[in-house]
Amino acid sequence: MSKQFRVAVVGATGAVGEVMLSILAERNFPVGELVALASERSAGGKVKFGHRDVVVQDLASFDPAGVDIALFSAGGSISKEFAPKFAAAGAVVIDNSSAFRYDDDVPLVVSEVNPEMVKERPRGIIANPNCSTMQLLVALAPIHRKAGIERLNIATYQSVSGTGRKALEELGKQTAGLLNFNPVESQVYPVQIAFNVIPHGGEFTDNGYTTEEMKLVWETRKILGDDAIRVNATVVRVPVFYGHSEVVNIETRDKLSATDARKLLETSPGIEVVDEHEPGGYPTPVTHASGNDAVYVGRIRDDLSHPHGLNLWIVADNIRKGAALNAVQIAELVAME
Ligand SMILES: NC(=O)c1ccc[n+]([C@@H]2O[C@H](COP(=O)([O-])OP(=O)(O)OC[C@H]3O[C@@H](n4cnc5c(N)ncnc54)[C@H](OP(=O)(O)O)[C@@H]3O)[C@@H](O)[C@H]2O)c1
């Protein structure tokens, strides 16, 4: 019989954790035992794993001994405290938070881009990139290999699910409330998100950019292994439930035409090109990304203002490829070792 793994999902009741459970089941990951962990608040409740209900246990009092693979998705402070304990007990930790992403001895892995890095894990921890970086790099890695990316100019249009379950509820409540002429209450976002767009994600840093913007800079360089790539990013939150979109302008060392880029992307892993020059002939979060695994690329155009410039529109389900799916794909790479 092939090896079965004792798999722990930390943050199993969250927006990402719930999808991790369903993707583990969908892809028939060889789970011998599934351990669902969350805070004391949710302990004793149940989550779905395939057709089974699994009782949620309290992370704080759980003994990690015997866990083979732990998928963490409960925020950075929880990862910082508990991931090293799971790793010390022998588990391979795959962490969704930003707690370890920039540590030199923790690999940052996109399964289609740098899968070989999963083996370089001296601390027993592998980091999953930020959702916006994830879909960006699935699309950009083939272009970087072919033509050498020198500079990126990115604007994101990020859905509220990227902020977690409470943000999904806030968009729903505000939308229903406003349509019924009720006043708006904002708790998750600093201003109304329903029927609005907010040029802010994460925390503001000293240079005026936000942490979500700087993640695109740091993570792109680390994953592509090239500190010379210049990245200019603006993060915008939009009233979409699932699916992040990105407008990306790329400057390459060698000329890559839109026609050649389209051909290259059509044969690259994890990507679906949707690029008909007609109304609706492009991917959107609702029509393509939500609930699906691929990274969708459309609106592929030569930059008319730059001889080595290229424009892309990149859309993906931020909870699936942007978080849970990539974490499970990393677990599959670990399971194959
Ligand atoms: N959403 C995305 O697109 C996305 C993408 C990439 C990475 N991430 C990262 O994934 C993590 C979770 O995101 P999310 O969107 O799933 O958030 P969420 O919906 O708010 O879920 C948070 C999860 O963490 C658990 N948790 C909170 N405090 C805990 C504690 N003290 N001990 C144990 N468990 C605790 C919650 O359990 P309770 O039910 O007990 O509260 C819940 O299961 C974050 O680090 C986030 O940055 C998210």
- Where do the domains of the chain lie, and which CATH numbers do they carry? 5-128+323-335 (3.40.50.720), 133-318 (3.30.360.10)
Contact 265, 300 (CB under 8 A): yes
Q: Which residues contact 237 (CB under 8 A, 6 or more apart)?
A: 158, 159, 160, 162, 163, 189, 193, 197, 198, 200, 201
- In contact, 251 and 306? CB cutoff 8 Å: yes
Within 13 Å and on the Cβ side, how many CA atoms surround 112?
24
56 Cβ below 6 A of ligand 1: no
Indicate the DSSP class of residue 334: H
Instruction: Calculate the CA dihedral of residues 207, 209, 215, 219 and round it to 10 degrees.
Output: -60
Residues 6+ apart with CB under 8 A from 209: 233
Taking CA atoms, 264 is separated from 167, 229, 258, in Å, by 37, 21, 10
Rounded to the nearest 10 degrees, the angle between the axes of helix 211-224 and helix 131-147 is 40
Query: For ligand 1, atom 44, which residue shows the shortest CA distance?
Result: 75
Decide whether any atom of ligand 1 lies within 6 Å of the 323 Cβ: yes
Q: Using DSSP bridges, classify how beta strands 31-38 and 5-10 pair: parallel, antiparallel or unpaired.
A: parallel
The tokens describing 229, both together, are 């790539």
User: pTM for the whole thing?
Assistant: 0.95
Please tell me the distance between residue 228's alpha carbon and the centre of ligand 1 in angstroms: 33
Contact status, residue 16 vs residue 72, Cβ threshold 8 Å:
no
Q: 């899968």: which residue's tokens?
A: 115
Choosing from 96, 125, 165, 212 the residue with most ligand 1 atoms within 8 A of its CB, the one to mutate for a pocket test is 96
CA torsion angle 166 98 140 270 (round to 10): -60
Distance 96 CA to ligand 1 centre (A): 9
pLDDT of residue 2: 79
Distance in Å, CA 266 to ligand 1 centroid: 34
Q: How far is the CA of 115 from the centre of ligand 1 (A)?
A: 25
Closest CA to 7 of 75, 92, 117, 81: 92
- 96 Cβ inside 6 Å of ligand 1: yes
* Residue 308 falls in the annotated catalytic set: no
pLDDT of 69-82, one tens digit each? 999 999 999 999 99
Residue 15, ligand 1, Cβ within 6 A: yes
- Hey, is 53 helix, strand or coil? strand
The predicted-structure confidence for 133-160, as pLDDT tens digits, reads as follows: 999 999 999 999 999 999 999 999 999 9
pLDDT in tens, 96-135: 999 999 999 999 999 999 999 999 999 999 999 999 999 9
Nearest-angstrom CA–CA distance, 318 and 131: 5
Please give the chain's pLDDT, 337 residues, in tens. 479 999 999 999 999 999 999 999 999 999 999 999 999 999 999 999 999 999 999 999 999 999 999 999 999 999 999 999 999 999 999 999 999 999 999 999 999 999 999 999 999 999 999 999 999 999 999 999 999 999 999 999 999 999 999 999 999 999 999 999 999 999 999 999 999 999 999 999 999 999 999 999 999 999 999 999 999 999 999 999 999 999 999 999 999 999 999 999 999 999 999 999 999 999 999 999 999 999 999 999 999 999 999 999 999 999 999 999 999 999 999 999 9
Buried b (16+ CB within 10 A) or exposed e, 197-221: ebebbbeeeeeebbebbbbbbbbbe
